[in-house]
Amino acid sequence: VGLGLPVTVATGFIEKLSIAIPWKNLQSHPTKVQIDGFYMLIVPKNGTVSFFIKKDFLNQF
């Protein structure tokens, strides 16, 4: 199900994903999700877009 936006995600990544699940208190304590380093390359749906991501560029994150 899309949002009807004229863009699409070409690529992306998450550097670190942490999930804390309170197994002994599932009903009374929240499950916590922490995302560090969330990156996306968004491109238009219409037309042709070419891109090149250098490995050195990605390594700086």
- Residue 18 has what pLDDT? 97
- Residue 42 has what pLDDT? 85
Q: Where are the domains of the chain?
A: 7-59
Task: For the chain, state the CA radius of gyration.
Answer: 17
Higher local confidence (pLDDT), 6 or 32: 32
In the predicted structure, residue 61 carries a pLDDT above the cut 60? no
- Residue 7 has what pLDDT? 85
Q: How far is CA 56 from CA 2, 12, 25, in A?
A: 32, 16, 44
Q: What would the two tokens of residue 27 be?
A: 């009903």
**pLDDT confidence of 4, banded at 50, 70, 90?**
confident
pLDDT digits (tens, 9 = 90+) for 8-59: 888 899 999 999 999 999 999 999 999 999 988 888 887 666 666 666 665 6
